[in-house]
Structure 1
Amino acid sequence: MERIVIVHWNKSTGPQTLIQYPPEKESLSKDIFLKIWTIHELNKEDKMIELTHDNMDTQLVSIIHKYEGEVYFLILAYDKKDDIENIINDYPDILTNVGKNLIGLISTNKITRAISEAFNTIKNYSKLNEEENLLNFFKDKIKNTILKILRTGVISKNKLKKILKTEYGFSTINLDLILMSFIRENLILKEIIPGSNDCYFLINDLSYMRLPPKNIYKSLSDVDIEERDEVYNIYLNSLVEFYSKYNCTQDINNNTILNFVFDKNVYLLFKTLRSKSLTVNECLNILNNNEVLFNELLDNKFIFESKGIVLLFTDVRLVKYPPNYVI
């Protein structure tokens, strides 16, 4: 995503840009706003529309809002090469709520921070793969707190807001924007319950675990065949010995796994070792020559080394499972 823009439709003068982020981007033309308004007028049943202009390298998604008798547009600008179908199909309700919240803050001193958070959350989410997005539910303090609260059972949006504010001190967050990622990953279900309005159900919980890697022998394809078989046999014996005694609860209780995978260089090393073996020097290059970290990964059985050849010993996987309160 390249930018996010809030436009007010003035009945006398036409479209007026109220704020955009990043602010240094060149403003969209009035002609573009008129085209957006026209498409909305012709498709009144659709709150969200898209526009690709022939003379632009940008494609636009617009969500129309009516707030206190006035008409506003929340406009998201993407590169023409980006696939925005998932935005149209998966985000309509959430982006409507995000837009409503931003427009409600337009005359306050909170709008600058709020639109910056909205921009970065939507942009970064689309850049990450599924595994990285799931990892963020443990890395991001607010998301992790919400996940813990949802594990206790069904909760209304208002009660969730109150708990986050009074018990955890999160008073200025854009809850709709945060919950968008939960819905996108099919972790929660939003339902309207009489007397409580919007309620959220945790339908898939998240956890993480060590698993023996796949296709390790294939990852040794560049190694001399005699040395390959010797290293592989040593590796297999070590693997069987470790996993036959492995207790996953210990890793979860002391955050051993998370402490390593939160490190971007370690995460990159794991991803690389999934497909091929590396030399010690190649590993150190990925870890910015941090020998202490390399030895910690060996000691904690995340990687394996023999004859200068390094293999992935533990593949860390994030898994979804039915929440306890459902079981």
Structure 2
Amino acid sequence: MSTERSSQTPRSTGKLLATQGYVVGIEISGSGTRQSVALADLDGNILYQLRRPLEYIPDTTTLLQLLEAMLGEVLDPEHLRDGRVLRVGVAVGGPVDASQGIVRTLYHAHGWDNFPLQDYLAERLNVPCIIDNNANAAALAEVLYGAGIGERVALYVGLGRGIGGGLIVNGRIYHGVTSTAGEIGHLLVMQNGPKCSCGGYGHLEAIASAQAIVRTMIGRAVEHPATLAAIHRLTEGRAERITVGQIFQLATEGDEVARCLIDEVLTYLAFALANIVHLVNPGMIILGGSVALVGEPLIAPLRERLRALCLPAASQHLRIVQGKLGPQASLVGAVTLALQDL
């Protein structure tokens, strides 16, 4: 458990009609093993926060019971001295129908198909609730608070266990007709490629997500004793614990298996982003998630590849940057969802 005060820039909007009270942000990961609940003031400052990671994938009932217990602690009357909770925002690590408040599914968990999470929470808390997927929420947070402040058209790409994306246009999430805009992880980039979590093949997520990179590295290292020895050195003999950052480190040190893998990841990620650049023409691409924590060893070569792949007119003003909100992006995004037009 952690209790934190936020140092984020306060949110300012002419549509903020309420002057007293709080909002709550909830983050639910794609596997259900990581959830967070935060209480924030109407400027978007997080006043109290809980994180409760699990070491197993919970069923729906277990996760909802855990969330209710966390909400009970966050909403203790001692924390609500300046008013009541006005709205709850939820960032979900999977496809969401934002217009209906329904979780379509969680690819890494069970029991969430077409789950009416928005109505479920609204009924139990007696407070209006808004839900969206975590990439959209993180995208909105980065544009309002983080790396994308002032950007009119910005694309956020969350490179974590899976891959998600969010497109922000004029300060608003672009959802498309059925709330599936921004699903960059399911772009087809390799014919007959590896199987994706959604059941398809050759999708970007199956190649460039943290889980895919680690799985591929371990699989290839089995046939290369020197690489396997290097992995054991970095992980103290626990190869399954290798991180994407350590794989980039091995590539930098000259390991050929790691170097080839990173080259493949950059190639297919660049293909996907180049197509989006030509279609949407964003001014900024913000990279978030655990893979993006690698920083310039990822971003610098990606910039070069996009410059080579894109028309000059599409890329000349494009900036590719690391997100500023880090692991907090989705939770801050959930708070930001709750504050929209309040």
TM over 0.5: no
> Going by fraction, where is strand more abundant, 1 or 2?
1
> Going by fraction, where is helix more abundant, 1 or 2?
1
**Structure number with higher relative contact order (C-alpha < 8 Å, ≥ 6 residues apart):** 2
Larger-gyration structure (1/2): 1
TM-score calculated relative to the size of structure 2: 0.28
